[in-house]
Structure 1
Amino acid sequence: NSPKNPNPRISTSAAPKRLAASPTTGDSEINHG
């Protein structure tokens, strides 16, 4: 999980599909992670 992640509850390892589907969190992970 990235420290800049606005949704600490969502783990990139646990829900990569949800993060990819999320316009906000997905963007955050792509840019920071």
Structure 2
Amino acid sequence: TALLAVSGVWGVRTHTVRPQLDAIKVGGMWQRG
């Protein structure tokens, strides 16, 4: 899910929201440098 979000996908279903949200935030920060 996090890899998809960083790639620009916005419509992903997940059942573990909190861990996925944290991973998306980290991925976004990593991508920005």
TM-score (norm. length: structure 2): 0.39
More helix by percentage: 2
